[in-house]
Structure 1
Amino acid sequence: MIKRPAPILEKNLFRKRDAQINLSTFALLFSEIIQLSEIGYRVGIRIFELTMQRERTIHRENRVLNILLYINTTIWKFLFGKQADSLEKSTENADEYMITDNDPLLSKFISIPKEMVSFNPYAFIAGIIEAILEACQCPSRVTAHTVPIDGKPLRTVILIKFNKFVLDRENKLGSK
């Protein structure tokens, strides 16, 4: 008689596992998280060109507020079927803006373990936004952050920090 392994449904669900994570597993996971932004950057360039063609936009905008409004409306609708919930300028730093999504679609279907609380799938979207800003000659550092809301699921805030010369150029254009 041939002995078969126990079917998966008959295996013990409560067996104890070590709480430690293998270093190579952690390194692989960490490299994948970083690559989300890099892949988003590559995708962002293509999305920007595609939306410019569909909107029949002849020129690339280079004013900060106009670009951010374009991302907040057109790009967000293209990606998620709705406009972002808010676009705000930081009260603390003149070079920072925030795009907020109170109901993040990418996070709905992803279960993130407690020990990986810093992981945010919106790093991919941050890469897309960074590419669009760079294509519009407004280089910046874009990061995604998960922020709790009272009584609601977590929301995602995309933090955009423009390079210094972008705001210097903006001030010069505003004074003309």
Structure 2
Amino acid sequence: MEKLEALKISSMRPRTNILDRPLAKGKTEVSQSIVALLFSEIVQYCQSRVYTVPELQTKLHEMGQDVGTRVIDIYFVRERSSKRETKLTQMLLFVKTTLWKNLFGKEAEKLEHANEDERTYYIIEKDPLVNAFISVPKDKGSLNCANFTAGIVEAVLTHCGFPCKVTAHWHKGTTYMVKFEDYVIARDKQLEDK
């Protein structure tokens, strides 16, 4: 009889799983050495499946897109009750601040708008965590592992309704060039006029 009562009580309590807990709750710091080890394994995995540096950067970008898709779904479902930004500037600020803090523990240094092209924005990060513990051989000197982060940003923006292409470049540390589709800019201008 006691076993039956215990079984009833335990089945009445809702079970919480780690995926149901809010991101803001719990331990928010992760050991940098663990992140470095995991990311170096990702780079080695990608490197074993490609032959050139551009192919490696593309593979890292694709893996980053998978991460970005999952991160944005988790964030908006858990933290924001599925409410997403509708204005481009607000979405870019969300990426620069909130997303960067959740992923890397700090904000990106700068967000800039290109003078010559209204579709292009730059997110500047002086020392990306993904490049911090990677030693690049001389034969792969142009490798920028921040293409992984570029993939994350591209997936986040695209899945939030701001289709774009994001690339990582060596400039002022690492600069992520975000180039939006034409209709994203036109739609944003219409929203501002209302």
Matched ranges for 1:137-148 at <5 A: 137-148=161-172
- Preserved CA contact (<8 Å) 2:53 2:142: no
- Residue 26 of structure 1, CA deviation: 6.8
- Preserved CA contact (<8 Å) 2:100 2:107: yes
Counterpart among 184, 189, 193 of residue 166 in structure 1: 184
Consecutive unaligned residues in structure 1, runs of 5 or more: 1-23, 149-154
- Preserved CA contact (<8 Å) 2:50 2:56: no
- Residue 107 of structure 1, CA deviation: 1.1
Matched ranges for 1:26-175 at <5 A: 27=51, 30-148=54-172, 155-175=173-193
| Greater share of helix | 2
For residue 51 of structure 2, give the secondary structure of its aligned residue in structure 1.
Answer: helix
Alignment coverage as a number of residue pairs:
147
| Greater share of strand | 1
Please give the alpha-carbon distance, in whole angstroms, between the structure 2 residues aligned to 1:139 and 1:100. Answer: 20
Consecutive unaligned residues in structure 2, runs of 5 or more: 1-47
2:86 partner amino acid: N
- Residue 105 of structure 1, CA deviation: 1.5
TM-score, with length taken from structure 2: 0.70
Question: Over residues 52-94 of structure 1, what are the superposed CA-to-partner deviations in whole Å (9 max), with x where a residue is unaligned?
Answer: 2443343121211111011001110011100111111111211
For residue 145 of structure 1, give the secondary structure of its aligned residue in structure 2.
Answer: strand
TM-score, with length taken from structure 1: 0.76
RMSD: 2.0
For residue 137 of structure 1, give the secondary structure of its aligned residue in structure 2.
Answer: coil
